[in-house]
């Protein structure tokens, strides 16, 4: 049964994606959606795609910066792993994120598998905190494009709550970095010996905390921290600018504050682990944000569909190119994508870090 579990999970997520897409499109006038797409300025959409693609390059350079305290890495191989990984995300959803940290050690032997996994965890921390903070702080001065003040006031209150939660999260991470070994040992003792599913859950929890502790230790270099923060801001500026071009292509006179508002909703939708890079959930969340800003529902759906393609397709095209060229060994990739492989890799990395690299 275990060997078929991943197929059953994928089928369940695919059904979820179809259900969300149906819910998203059930009340739309698809002729108007098609008309909105056809009447858009494809030159601006193409420009938006190029700018977003540049964002993937900044992401690869930032990953290289994350790896710098641990090992040297070729930017070309980091770029290949990034595009192949996001191609996997587009195909099978967030479960495909494990592809990126596996592909890089396959292609650049200087990179230990755990260094790759640990730095991806750092990336997720950076991106989550950056998007949440920008989205929440942006709500303080965002003004609705039309008369949607009531909906926006509720969203602004949610944004203030996010700022408070983000600040609390940062405090917890700082505390955890200083006390990680004690916390993990305490949890290990508190949970005690388990069997079966409970044992696997315990091992997954402690392994995740181990990875987080190792990831936070990598961020202790102030210079590397500053460099990675700069690349993070440039990355998300590129994504926001690309999305701005797309909205302008549909005749929406949005400013950067409106784009950041929509981007925050889009990222929430993309987290849903459905195949197609959050297909359905991304469209529903993005469309809802546009409607809050006063965009007509059918046009909002058209913009959401194109934004999804612009945000995910450029890197996936490069990833497909490398895949078709045979630059990724599928058999080796399958053997490395397993919970045990990740756990052993992280344990090896902890030992290496304790010995000074």
pLDDT in tens, 219-277: 777 787 888 889 999 999 999 999 999 999 999 988 888 999 899 888 887 777 676 66
Model confidence at 299, pLDDT cuts 50, 70, 90, reads very high
d(CA 169, CA 184) in angstroms, rounded, equals 18
202 versus 230: the higher-pLDDT residue is 230
| Residue 339 pLDDT > 50 | no
Model confidence at 177, pLDDT cuts 50, 70, 90, reads confident
Output the pLDDT for position 298: 92
| Residue 356 pLDDT > 50 | no
Among 124-133, 144-153, 291-300, 345-354, name the one with the lowest average pLDDT: 345-354
CB 179, CB 173: distance < 8 Å: no
Tell me which residue of 97, 98, 13, 49 sits closest to 280, measured CA to CA.
Answer: 13
Model confidence at 176, pLDDT cuts 50, 70, 90, reads confident
| Residue 144 pLDDT > 80 | no
d(CA 279, CA 96) in angstroms, rounded, equals 14
| Residue 337 pLDDT > 70 | no
Residues 6+ apart with CB under 8 A from 28: 297, 298, 301
DSSP state of 39: T
Residues 6+ apart with CB under 8 A from 40: 249, 250, 251, 302, 306
| Residue 25 pLDDT > 80 | no
Residue 209: burial class (beta carbons within 10 Å; 0-12, 13-18, 19+): middle
**Strand (E) or helix (H) holding 320:** helix 297-324
| Residue 191 pLDDT > 60 | yes
199-206 average pLDDT score = 76
79-83 average pLDDT score = 93
| Residue 76 pLDDT > 90 | yes
Residues 6+ apart with CB under 8 A from 269: 278, 281, 282, 283, 284, 285, 286
| Torsion sign over Cα 237, 59, 229, 282 | positive
Model confidence at 44, pLDDT cuts 50, 70, 90, reads very high
- What is the share, in percent, of the chain residues with pLDDT greater than 90? 24
User: What is the residue-averaged pLDDT of the chain?
Assistant: 80
Among 35-49, 125-139, 228-242, name the one with the lowest average pLDDT: 125-139
Structure confidence by residue, pLDDT tens digits, 46-60: 999 999 999 999 999
């Amino acid at each position: 049964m275990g060997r078929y579990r991943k197929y059953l999970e994928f089928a369940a997520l695919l059904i979820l994606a179809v259900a969300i897409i149906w819910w998203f499109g059930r009340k739309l006038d698809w002729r108007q959606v098609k008309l909105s797409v056809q009447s858009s300025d494809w030159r601006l959409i193409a420009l938006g795609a190029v700018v977003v693609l540049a964002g993937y390059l900044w992401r690869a350079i930032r990953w290289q910066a994350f790896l710098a305290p641990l090992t040297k890495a070729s930017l070309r191989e980091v770029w290949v792993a990034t595009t192949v990984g996001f191609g996997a995300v587009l195909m099978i959803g967030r479960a495909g994120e494990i592809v990126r940290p596996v592909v890089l050690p396959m292609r650049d032997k200087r990179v230990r598998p755990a260094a790759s996994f640990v730095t991806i965890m750092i990336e997720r921390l950076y991106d989550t905190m950056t998007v949440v903070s920008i989205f929440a702080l942006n709500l303080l001065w965002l003004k609705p494009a039309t008369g949607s003040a009531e909906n926006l006031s509720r969203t602004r209150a949610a944004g203030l709550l996010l700022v408070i939660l983000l600040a609390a999260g940062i405090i917890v991470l700082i505390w955890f970095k200083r006390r990680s070994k004690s916390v993990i040992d305490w949890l290990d003792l508190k949970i005690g010996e388990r069997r079966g599913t409970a044992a696997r859950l315990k091992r997954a929890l402690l392994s995740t905390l181990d990875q987080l502790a190792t990831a936070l230790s990598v961020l202790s270099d102030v210079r590397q921290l500053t460099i990675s923060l700069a690349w993070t801001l440039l990355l998300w500026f590129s994504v926001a600018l690309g999305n701005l071009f797309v909205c302008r292509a549909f005749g929406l006179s949005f400013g950067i504050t409106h784009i950041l508002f929509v981007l925050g909703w889009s990222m929430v939708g993309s987290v849903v682990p459905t195949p197609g890079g959050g297909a359905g959930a991304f469209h529903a969340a993005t469309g809802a944000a546009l409607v809050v800003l006063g965009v007509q529902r059918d046009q909002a759906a058209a913009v959401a569909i194109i934004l999804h393609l612009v945000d995910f397709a450029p890197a996936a095209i490069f990833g497909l190119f490398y895949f078709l060229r045979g630059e990724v060994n599928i058999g080796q990739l399958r053997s490395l994508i397993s919970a045990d492989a990740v756990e052993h890799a992280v344990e090896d990395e902890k030992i290496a870090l304790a010995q000074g690299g």
